[in-house]
Structure formats: C-alpha cells, structure tokens
A and B are shown apart, each in its own frame.
Chain A
C-alpha cells in the first residue's frame, strides 16, 4: 500500500500513445490493436531516435578504440549498464552482463555455471509453467552430466504448488530456475519466498525475468536471487539485447561462456587469460546500438512511473477478465490470485488459430498456440490458447474491440 505522503502519478494514456509511432498504423483497414505485448512490446520514439542517433553520430566498435567515436560509443554503451544496474537494484555494474536476450542468459548459466558445478545424480529444479527457454538448456545440461531435471507442478488455477516445491527441494538440488511471471498464464510466482527456501536448502536460484521486468518492481538484492535474466525487447527496448544479472562471487568463479574478442586479457597460442567482469562474458562485438537505445526505454518506464503503469495494467487486466468472461463458452486459463497483464483463453469448440486469424482481420493482434510452453498446455489438456497481453499504451476501448471481435468470431465459427 502506498503511504499517504506518496503522490500518486496517474497515467495519461493518450499522451503515452503519442510516443509510440507504430500505434497509428492500420491493419486490414482498421486501427491496430496490439495485444501481443508478452511476445514483444512496441518501442517509443525515444528508443527509435536513439538507434538512429547512434548510427548517425558515433557508430564505432567499443572498448578497444582510441578515437573519439569509439570513446563516445563505449561511454553510451556503459551508461546503459549503469542504468540497468540501478533499474534492477544490483549492487555493482560488474554484475550486469549484456546478452542477446533472456534465452542466451539462461543458456550462459546452464553452460558456464552448470558444466562446472553439476555432477551425475545432482538435480535441477524447474516448474511446469516454464517457457521452453527455461527447460531445454537444463535438459541439455542434465543429459550431458547424468543429472536429473525435476519439475514443480501447477494447480488448476495456474499457480505453483508450494508444498510440492518444498518437498522437491533436497540435498541433491543444485539449482532452481523458475519463471517470475508466466508468459502463458500471467501468474506471478512468489519467487522471493522460493529463493529463501532454496538458499536454506543450499541451492542456487535463477529467475527467468523475461515477463516480470516490465510489470513488476525488480530489486535483485531484495529478492536475493543468484541469477536474473531478461530481454530489452519486452521492456520497450530494441530486439537482440538482453541482460543477465549474476552475483559477483558466482560470476567470478564461472568459466567463460564463449571465446573471442573483448573477453580476453592476453592471448598466446599456449594460454589465454580472461578479461575481468563483466567483459569475460561478452565475447565478440555486442549489439551496441541495441544496448545504447535500451537506456531511453528504461528512462521511459521510470519517467512514466512504475506504479502508474502497474495501476493502469491492473485496470486493463480486470476489465479484460470481466468482459471476456461474458462470452459464452469462453474459459480463461490461468486464474492465479496474483497475476499480471495476460489473459489466456480457450472457447468451446473453437480452435485458437481461427480466433487469431479472425481477430487479425479486424486489426487485433493476439497470439495463439502453445506459447512455447507445451508442457504447461499438456497440464491443462489443451493444444493451446489465444492470449491477449497488455502494455502501458493499451486502452479500455481496445479491450471492448477485442470483446466485440471475439463475439463476432464465435458467431461466424459456430453458425
């Protein structure tokens, strides 16, 4: 609850929408309604301008150059690192590793930390609501090492069953890797409590924060997670850019993930010594433009105000629940007590793909399918869902459009 002294900033959605050029486009002759934000968010003009400004003014390879352009590019690149550090509350900039995205962050940990620390018979614990990105890297690791992948089950509401989590944690559990916010259901998992339990058990904890950073306040020190991975493109930033946070002591002890330029100190054919953190994990030329243009995305969120954004998104979510539940035969998959910005649903005797095509016909973008979470769909015995996911620029009017589009689709398909 906010203290009475806090000034509640309210959100001017129209002013926000003006910052997103793409919002003005039409699809199939109608104004775009973009409800696929859990896949990727749209970008504000400040991010787009920063991309162009970078290439127009100081495009250069970073860190090694002595010339002015290289200095300016390096400074801008490193400023984003500081901005990210502050955004997620990390204690040191060396704990911020730039990656291509969440998937690469998880793979980095599975490959580097995992191959060094996991032995035959050890266990890695994930959950039944993980994205394939937080399943496959651990599966590969377990296969290679003869370790065992264990899975925390999900209840009918789409929440993790905490008693099972507690039961599954044991002395063989080396690491727990759990999604903070489910991309398919919107469920917010109680990761802080889960991290405390894992640590008591002597296990490390990695958070897949892909969906969480844009909706929740993230303070990695408060969470006390060991690793936290997310992508810029789901946070109003450019694609191909992501962040892996790791506790410094862990990162220092980990071997490099990839070899190449930037990550070395000295190379001879006999022996290579590695650069210090964070560069040890940033082999090769990174997505410099993406990282530079990520900073205005963070600024956009901070300036708009996380509380104001959250309040707006909560309003969208509860209105969407209310309006969609009026549609006959529609069932919302994922009724967690604590959820954000995602409505996943099925409609009796209607294939999600048909819904997706007919909504697109009216300019409404939703996602249909298994959302890269096939085991979760199996859990609910469905082939997939249609999913609407919301962001700061969405309006209640757009949800009315969605509801109208759905009613129409159902009428045509059932007629």
Chain B
C-alpha cells in the first residue's frame, strides 16, 4: 500500500519537475523513467491488453488484490513509457474509488498536457481511460467495495 495519497504523490512529481529549466531536461528525465520501468512479461503483450494509439502502443494489465488495483504496463515508445511509469506511481495500489476520482492534475502541471490532447499520436489518453475503466469494473464486481 502506498504511504502517500494520490495528491501527495502528484505533488512530489511536480516538485521533481520544478528542478528542470528546459524542456530538454524534462524529457531526458521522462526517458530515464521510461528506461527504469520494469518490462512487462511478453505473455501479457496480447491484443486484448493493448491500448491502441495511432503511433505507439501501450499494453496495460490490472490486478485486483485486497480491494486495491495494481497496474503493470509497457509501451514500444520510450517517452510514453516514462509517462506510464509516472501514472503507475500515482495510481497503482489504490482503491477503485481513489482511482476513479483521481484528477491527475500533475500531467498539466509538469507541462505534458499535449500528450493527453493528441489522441491520435499516442495511447496515453486511452491508457488513462483504460486505467479508470478497470477501477470502475472492479468496483462493480467487488462485493466488499460495493458495501462501502
């Protein structure tokens, strides 16, 4: 279970990015995060798990354990991979309700909105949607969460 709340984790990322003066530095950092992202077991890289974007692909897997959702994901493009790693850091290990309600303002705060707006160029927006869809689905399916 993460020690910090979603908003606190977002704030942490925003602060990390505030150290960078230039776009180059920001992207270098994102690429670094992408390289560190644990690779997804090739067995999970199925069409079923694929979130389609026009240019790059994202594979997303969600596991529901003790009322919390744990995400694993990968992309064939490095910058998307870095963005994915941040999303996982913020959303993985949360309850469905927390994920559904997450505003993910940090994406805008660190200047990466373009990657959400250009739905045609990558799978990031579809990925956020898909993460939230999993949360909705598990919320409906899980009797414990439904009681809350």
A378 → chain B, closest Cβ, in Å?
Answer: 15
Asked if A278 is at the interface of the complex by the 8 Å CB criterion, the answer is no
Asked if B16 is at the interface of the complex by the 8 Å CB criterion, the answer is no
| Chain B positions 37-70 with a Cβ under 8 Å from a chain A Cβ | 54-56
Asked if B121 is at the interface of the complex by the 8 Å CB criterion, the answer is yes
Q: Mark B107-148, 1 if CB is under 8 A from A, else 0.
A: 000000000000001100000000000000000000000000
Closest Cβ neighbor of A384 among chain B residues: B55
A379 → chain B, closest Cβ, in Å?
Answer: 18
B111 → chain A, closest Cβ, in Å?
Answer: 11
How far is A28 from B78 in the complex, measured between Cα atoms in Å? 21
A157 → chain B, closest Cβ, in Å?
Answer: 25
Residues of A within 8 A of B19 (CB): none
How far is A357 from B115 in the complex, measured between Cα atoms in Å? 10
- On whether the beta carbons of A413 and B31 are closer than 8 Å, the reply is yes
How far is A370 from B55 in the complex, measured between Cα atoms in Å? 8
- On whether the beta carbons of A353 and B55 are closer than 8 Å, the reply is yes
Residues of A within 8 A of B55 (CB): 352-353, 368-370, 383-384
Asked if A318 is at the interface of the complex by the 8 Å CB criterion, the answer is no
How far is A51 from B31 in the complex, measured between Cα atoms in Å? 44
How far is A28 from B77 in the complex, measured between Cα atoms in Å? 22
| Chain A positions 350-374 with a Cβ under 8 Å from a chain B Cβ | 350-354, 356-358, 361-362, 368-370
**Number of chain A interface residues as a range:** 10 to 19
What is the interface of chain B, defined by CB distance below 8 A to chain A? 23-24, 27-28, 31, 54-56, 76-80, 121-122
Inter-chain contact count A-B, CB under 8 Å? 42
How far is A358 from B76 in the complex, measured between Cα atoms in Å? 16
- On whether the beta carbons of B79 and A357 are closer than 8 Å, the reply is yes
How far is A358 from B25 in the complex, measured between Cα atoms in Å? 11
A-B contact pairs, 6 of them (CB 8 A): A351-B56, A354-B79, A356-B121, A357-B27, A361-B24, A383-B76
- On whether the beta carbons of A354 and B23 are closer than 8 Å, the reply is no
How far is A177 from B116 in the complex, measured between Cα atoms in Å? 38
Residues of A within 8 A of B78 (CB): 350-351, 354, 413
B53 → chain A, closest Cβ, in Å?
Answer: 9
Residues of A within 8 A of B79 (CB): 353-354, 357-358
- On whether the beta carbons of B28 and A369 are closer than 8 Å, the reply is no
Closest Cβ neighbor of A351 among chain B residues: B77
How far is A351 from B56 in the complex, measured between Cα atoms in Å? 8
| Chain A positions 326-356 with a Cβ under 8 Å from a chain B Cβ | 350-354, 356
B80 → chain A, closest Cβ, in Å?
Answer: 7
Closest Cβ neighbor of B54 among chain A residues: A369
Residues of B within 8 A of A28 (CB): 23
